[in-house]
Structure formats: structure tokens, C-alpha cells
Chains A and B, each alone.
Chain A
Amino acid sequence: MGQHSHSRRPPHTPLTTMLEFRTAGFNPYNVKYSPFFDHRIAVGGGANFGLVGNGRLYVLNLTANGIACEKFFETQDCLFDIAWSEQHENQLLTAGGDGSIKLFDIGVGQFPVAGWQEHGREVFSVHWNLVNKSTFLSSSWDGTVKIWSPERKESITTLPIHSCVYSAQFSPHHPDIVTAVSRDSHLRVFDLRTKPSAQNHMTLAVPIHAPPKVRMPGMLNPNSGPTECLTHDWNKYRDSVIATAGVDTIIRTFDLRVPSGPVNLLAGHDYAVRRISWSPHLSDVLLSASYDMTCRVWTDGSNVDKGGNGAGMGAEMGRMDQHTEFAMGVDWCLFGAEGWCATCAWDERVLVWDVREFMRR
């Protein structure tokens, strides 16, 4: 493998503009654009594919000359996820393999400005509340989701799930709704406004592997059992739509108003899907990163204007296969042109590219 700063051009695609950064010695797990600055990206990862060794948090800048590293922080253990603060433009959270959550300030030294250690095992995701902006959550292999406030030393609430929780999020539409997907193949919805009771705020537990409500002719109708769910994301426009994906390689969309089964199945990846993200600009588009080393753009067919028939026949719209290892993270750029995104993979690279350059047709 050469040490180019531009990616090689595959024979059958047009010349692409793609920016690249090498996280030498560290394998990234996730990448996130700053909500405040359109040129700033954070990447979290760990040495030795995150199995053992230190972790690193990179703060990168997109400049006219490519991607430059503004700063990096070293941590004791791998970082499995990162989340920018919604309150403070220079601060961001990390999810640590040692069960710790740390808050770093770019302007302040080499050490975190705050830290929380309550999880008993690896923290796999952190997410900031996008509506009330004053709380954040974490999810862990210890089977819990915890809600925190940056001002408080202890967690505010712990939601028990009893199964490794790979991904948890606050709804971008309601500040008190939390969703989580876990190893036991369930999507759980929690409403923090309810009384704790025996259900611990849980209002819905959707089995992800349930067959779709409406069997589409010619469409994939998998009869699989439960498999681990690794990632999920709320649709930014339709406030009851969530997509999940995981080990069985299929991306499913769910509508919480009809939760008994998935609405849409997007199949195509050859290996587990590690991360998905709905577009912040288009209500029917999402991006995925998979262990099959590709990142793919999909439509779930719900947007009638774009040629989808609105009845939900999703399709793959394009794929980027420049990564040469498991693709682990994706994030869309909020500002500027609507197709730009960043992806990261275990090939120690962060790639910033425009999905439109990889769409067919």
C-alpha cells in the first residue's frame, strides 16, 4: 500500500475528489462532524484494532490543502465512540473501552476536563441530547444505558437492558425519548417522562428480526432468527422513523407508529453493518459502513419527488469501496453542499467525500 494522500482511482469510476487522513498506528471506530464548525471533524479509535492498547481522539481540520490534525488526545483504552457537545463548541465526549466517559476541551491541555466512571464494561456509544442540549447518554457492554449531565458527577438515570447495548440515542425530535439497540436483536424505546416502575421507562421493545408487516413481492423476506444489532439512527425529518442494522447485513427501517415489524429492508452488504446515518438534508437517504469494506448510500423509497413510489421500495444508490478494511464510522456534513460525508475504517484512514460522485445514474 502506498502512502498517497489522494486515494487511488479505480478504473471504472470518474475522477473523485476525496480527502484522506491517516490515523497511523490507530484504528478508528467513529467519525463525527462538529455541529459548530463545518471544517472540524473528530475521530476516535484505538491501537491494535481496539482490542488492546491505548486510544486516541483526533481533532481534524478540513483545509484547502487536505485534512490536518489540529490536536490529538491519548487515552488509556480504545475509544469506541465520540460525540460533540451541543453546548460548548470546543468540547466533545469519548466512550472508552475501560468503561469511562471523558469530556475533552480542545483548548485545554492534554487531559479531559471531566470524566465519569460508572459502566462496568466497554462503553460503545455516547450521544448528546440534540433538543435540550444539557444532557447526554452512554450505552455499554454492561447492558445499560445511562443518562448524564455534564454538571453532575453521577448519572441521572440508568436504563437496564441486560444485553450488550451497541448503540443508544436521544430522539432528535423529543428530548425525553431514548432508543437503544442491543445484542439481543431488539430496538427499545424509553420515555424518560414516565414513572420508572417495573419497566424502567421502557415503552416499546421491538424485535428487529420480526418479519416485515407487508411482504413485498420480489423483495427479500428473510426468515432469520435474532442477530446482534450494532447500530441505529433516527430519521431527521420523519419523527417516528428509525433505521437499524447489524450482523445479518440488512438495514431495516421501522416506523414506531407500527412497530410490529420493519417497514423496509435494504439488503446488499456482504458482511455486518457497523454504522448507519440518515442524511440531514434528504428524508429518504441514508449512509452505511460495513465490515465488507464498502460504504453505501441508500434510499428507502419513501420520497415520491425523487422517483421513489412512496410505497417503500428501498434501493442502493451507490457505494464507495476505497476503504481496504472494515468500515466502521460514517457521518454527514451538515453545512455546505448536501452530499459530503466522512467515513473511517480500520485501514487507519478517514475519508471525506461526496456521495453524489459515487451514485449510479
Chain B
Amino acid sequence: MATERLQSILSHVAPNASPIDRITQKRADDVVITLALRTPLCKAKKGGFKDTPLDALLFRLLEQVVKKSNVDPQQFGDICLGNVRDGTAVYHLRASSLAAGFPVTTAASTTNRFCSSSLTATQHIANEVASGLIDVGVAVGAETLSFGNVRLNRPFVDEVRNANQSALDCEQPMGQTSETVGTEFNITREMQDHYAVESYRRAELAQKSGWFDDEIVPVTVKVKGKDGTETEKTITKDEIRYGTTYESISKLPPSFAEFGDKSHAGNSSQVTDGAAAIVLMKRSKALELRQPILGKYVGTAIAGLEPRIMGIGPVFAIPKLLSNHNLSINDIDVIEINEAFASMAVYCRDRLGIEWEKLNPRGGAIALGHPFGMTGVRQIVCGLSECRRRKAKILVTSMCMGTGMGMAGLFVSEQ
């Protein structure tokens, strides 16, 4: 208390001395987030969205964006979707946005930077808003891993793959990179399993405590039964496996046995379907349209690293982001790092010196799932909701990307 009062007086005498003051300052041309919502996360091929193709999912989500944003759809200038596995995603985005109530004057695009796709989409929309290209935009992340699965289906041409090791390593499957991280950085199976159990415990606790309720919009979809009949179901909750224990997952066999024996289905991200969206505009616009301001987009950072250890991407992206804003890891209240695998999650947590209590407080991709394109925006939606619950301010989201990249985003919660 006393230190806070002293800090307050000091900030009167030497304003803007503290980097936190500088990013939490409210200026009229800040890019702010006025709406953040997501669908539930469902298991691919088996869960609630298994028969919901991308356009159906986007249509439902974007309808909710139009309804809940309380903004005249004419004001929206652009929508950017982060999606990794569907090569035709941009068609689906455009058509479903028009169906959902956006006018033809609202443009649409998709972007693919692997698992950071919707954080990249957020960056694109934020830059468009900041530069004045558009007044209001939507950043969407969506992935239907039950469908559309465009992956690398052939080796690179010889001149590319033989040029150097890094280019060749881009062919490596993600499981291989996880085992490489586990071996090279000595992240034992025990450490990974302990991490995974905690992620499950937190997700279960969060769901049971109702913390996800202000993030999720229920979605009504058609589900085909075993006999082929279609029924309508309203999905309201994430499909989280309850009651995971260390004993139960320590028995699971390795999933990438040819590369190593540490990563398995229990300590890797689940294969999941889902979509999330945030609405961005300038603070002056938000005040003019009488919008609630959930948080401020401060900036992002991207980093590149060796493809074979792609999992440790956040270890490069987060320090770069923090140093751009003169912050230290201790200044951050909530950190969302995508749990592609427990191997990289443990490494990133310990290497960056993050208090575990601040990291993925509602569980992460190991328990919740990782619909590749959705993750970027999902972390923002989840992070802002958690900041509101904790009355915390500074949020960092981050993820690794296949082929060796890391990305991180910095936000200030104003709830």
C-alpha cells in the first residue's frame, strides 16, 4: 500500500517514468478491443463441431459479432481470418460474413502464419485501424480440423531442401520437433506430465467455476449420429476431459516413437475445432459509438528461429516484445503461451522465469485444445476474461509456430 502511494506521488513528479504508465496511458488513437468472444472448443472428428464445416462455423460466430457488438455493420471496414488448414478459407469467410449481416462494403481476407494466424490477423486489423485505413475491424480465428486439412504433402524440391539444414528441417513433423526440444533441453517425461496434469486441473476448475461463461457464445449446429441422422445441438461448453491424473497419463505410450518417448496424447495439445473473434477500433471511435472498452492492443513481436526446435519460439518472441516496451517479465500479470506440447511449455516457462501462477491460469491447449487458426484470438479472449476476473492489467499472449517462428502480443485490460 505504502509503496503504491509513494509510486503514485512519484508519478506526479516524474510522469511517464514507468514503462507501465506509458503503455497503460489512454490516448484517443489507441487501438482498443470492444468485443471478445469465442465458440466452445470441441474435439475434432468426435465432438460437437465434427459436422460443422468452416463456413457454417464462421457464419454462426459472425452473426454473434454483429448482434453483440451493437455497432452498425456498415461501420466495419475489414475482417481478417486466421486459418491454417483450409486452402479455400477466404471464400468461406467472405460468403459467411455477407450471410451473417455484414454489408458487401466490409472486405475480408485470410492470413496464415501457422499457429499464430489469428494473432497475425489481429495485428493486421490493428494496423489498419491505427493507420486509418478502416474505422472498425474484426479479427477472427477459426479452424475446423474435422475438415479441411491442407498440409505439406510432398518434400520440397531438391534445390530447396538441399540448400541448407534449416530449409530441410521445415519438412519435420511437429511431433519430431517436440521430441527434439525435450531431448536437447532435458525436459523429462515426468516434468512434461506434471505440467500437463496441471493444465487439465486448471481447465477443469475454470469450467466448473464458470470462468469461461463470459467468453463463450453458445452455437447451435447439426450433428450426424452414427446412423446418419442429423440432429440439432446447442454447444455451450468446451469439451474438457475431467479427472486427469498424473498416474493416468504417465501410462500413455509415446505418440512419436520414432523420434522420442516423451510426448504423447496426454501431454500434447488436443486436436480441436473452434472459432473466436475480437472487434477492434480506435478509442475515439469507441467513445463515439459508446462501446465498452475491454482492453487495448499495444503491439506484437515476431521472431524466427531454427525450425527443428520451433517449440521454443516464445522464448525469442516474448523478450523481443518486452524490450520494445521496456518491460520485464515481472510486469506482466497474465501470460498465455500456447501449449503445443508440454515439452516447449515447460521450457518456455522456466527459461523466461514466469511464475506458473500467471501462466495459462485457465489451462492451455493441452486440456482445451489447439484449433491452429483459432488460438491467437482465443488467447486474447481468454486472457482478457481472466484479467477482468483477477482485476489484472497487463496481458501477454504468445505461441510457437511450425517451421521455426514465435509471436507474442501485448495487451492492457481496461475492465
- Give me the interface of A with B, judged by CB distance under 8 Å: 49-52, 97, 122, 141, 162-164, 184-186, 198-199, 205, 207, 225-228, 230, 246-248, 271-272, 274, 291
Contact = CB atoms under 8 A, between A and B. Distances in A.
Contact of A205 (B8, B9, B12, B287): B287
A225 B27 contact: yes
B11 A185 contact: no
A246 B27 CA distance: 17
Contacts, number: 49
A51 B12 contact: no
B290 to A, nearest CB: 6
A185 B2 CA distance: 24
A199 B11 CA distance: 30
Given A184-B26, A185-B26, A199-B290, A52 B1 contact: yes
A52 B2 contact: yes
Contacts of A225: 25, 27
A247 B15 contact: yes
A230 B12 contact: yes
Contact of B27 (A226, A247, A248): A226
Contacts of A207: 28
A228 B15 contact: yes
B12 to A, nearest CB: 4
Q: How large is the interface on B (under 10, 10 to 19, 20 to 34, 35 or more residues)?
A: 10 to 19
Contacts of B8: 141, 164
A51 B11 contact: no
26 contacts: A49-B9, A50-B5, A51-B5, A52-B2, A52-B5, A97-B1, A97-B5, A122-B5, A162-B414, A164-B8, A185-B25, A185-B26, A198-B290, A205-B287, A225-B25, A226-B27, A227-B15, A228-B11, A228-B15, A246-B12, A247-B11, A247-B15, A271-B12, A271-B13, A272-B13, A291-B13
A136 B287 CA distance: 28
Nearest to A199: B290
A205 B284 CA distance: 11
Contacts of A184: 25-26
Interface in B6-29: 6, 8-9, 11-13, 15, 25-28
A68 B292 CA distance: 52
A254 B28 CA distance: 19
A163 B26 contact: yes
Contacts of B127: none
Nearest to B25: A226
Interface string B386-415: 000000000000000000000000000011
A51 B415 contact: no
A226 B5 contact: no
Contact of A51 (B2, B287, B414): B2
Interface in B286-319: 287, 290, 292
B11 to A, nearest CB: 7
A52 B287 CA distance: 38
A226 B25 CA distance: 7
B67 to A, nearest CB: 15
Nearest to A182: B26
Given A51-B2, A51-B6, A162-B414, A272 B28 contact: no
A141 B415 CA distance: 15
A100 B35 CA distance: 35
Contact of B12 (A162, A198, A247): A247
Contacts of A97: 1, 5
* Residue of B1, B5, B292 most packed against chain A (CB within 10 A): B5
Contacts of B11: 228, 247
Interface in B26-49: 26-28
A288 B161 CA distance: 73
A226 B15 CA distance: 10
A62 B415 CA distance: 47
A248 B12 CA distance: 8
Contacts of B1: 52, 97
Contacts of B5: 50-52, 97, 122
A228 B375 CA distance: 36
Given A226-B27, A248-B15, 8 more contacts: A49-B9, A51-B9, A52-B2, A185-B25, A228-B15, A247-B12, A271-B12, A272-B12
A198 B9 CA distance: 33
A246 B28 CA distance: 19
A163 B1 CA distance: 17
A199 B9 CA distance: 31
Given A51-B6, A52-B2, A228 B26 contact: no
Contacts of B28: 207
A248 B25 CA distance: 14
Contacts of A247: 11-12, 15
A259 B414 CA distance: 24
Contact of A226 (B12, B26, B292, B415): B26
A230 B13 CA distance: 12
Nearest to B415: A162
B323 to A, nearest CB: 22
A182 to B, nearest CB: 10
A291 B10 CA distance: 11
A323 to B, nearest CB: 16
